[in-house]
Structure 1
């Protein structure tokens, strides 16, 4: 199985980029993990919220394949402990999924068309994080999940 992490926009903060790079380097020992950044929309101040979500959906759909198993990072999604998330990843791996795609939406969330494509939703927290921080937190949690599955001493209950 491969994991693809699909995000809108680039990360500008150096400390976040350093953290992402650190965990991407660690993850390659466990699974093929691709971080795909879709360029930000231009001139969004002239768009209504629904128009912006629709345009973002078009960009996201271009990056997806029909066989992708899509999980949205969404505030209304299922919350997991780190152990539960590792079990979730394990179930997906043994189910025969070839490409597990996690998507972070834009500032207003997802267009309805993206919700219809998804097989699930996960919430990282009831707290709200910047889209930049979510990237680092999520990649670290994937890494943590694999260390839990391998019985390595990274995670402490």
Structure 2
């Protein structure tokens, strides 16, 4: 069984996001082993200059890099990444298993995005949209799409 890890910056405080995460985590338990690893976010001052924002991204990136399994495939969620349909995303996940990858790690950055070091470490960059989403929402969107991918791979019906 493949292990899917989501490495993300910050904790989710809102009950509605936590409820959605718990629901998709439960649904995914039939298909994969799921880990959600939260690394602490750094406080970003209002109107921080770009140099400070880069330092913050680097600090968060260092925490992400420490949380990664060196043997797992790293997929960074990034606006400039490859866009997939639900079907091609399911093929992407399936192809990793065919290649012998047993651990897929999806990385979601904090409010400032991902550091260059994390982007460089990633074997794949995946984009869900040209739009920016709050990282709490992105976690739910990612879980839903991973669940949809496994439903597609199992030839099981799922709402469109």
Do both proteins adopt the same fold according to a TM-score greater than 0.5, normalized to the shorter chain? yes
Q: Secondary structure at the match of 1:10?
A: coil
Q: How far, CA to CA, are the matches of 1:126 and 1:117 in structure 2?
A: 22
Pairwise CA RMSD of aligned residues? 1.4
Q: Which residue of 1 aligns with 2:73?
A: 69
Q: Which residue of 1 aligns with 2:44?
A: 44
**Maintained 8 Å contact 1:148/1:155:** no
Structure 2: gaps (5+ residues) = none
Q: How far, CA to CA, are the matches of 1:77 and 1:116 in structure 2?
A: 12
Mapping 1:93-108, distance limit 5 Å = 93-108=97-112
Residue 65 of structure 1 deviates from its aligned partner by 2.5
Deviation readout 1:9-33 (Å, 9 max, x if unpaired): 0111111111110010000000111
Q: How far, CA to CA, are the matches of 1:125 and 1:153 in structure 2?
A: 25
Residue 124 of structure 1 deviates from its aligned partner by 0.9
Q: Which residue of 1 aligns with 2:87?
A: 83
Q: TM (normalized to structure 2)?
A: 0.91
Residue 155 of structure 1 deviates from its aligned partner by 4.1
Q: Secondary structure at the match of 1:20?
A: helix
Q: TM (normalized to structure 1)?
A: 0.93
**Maintained 8 Å contact 1:70/1:101:** yes
Structure 1: gaps (5+ residues) = none
Q: How far, CA to CA, are the matches of 1:80 and 1:97 in structure 2?
A: 20
Q: 1:125 aligns with which of 112, 122, 129?
A: 129
Q: Which residue of 2 aligns with 1:2?
A: 3
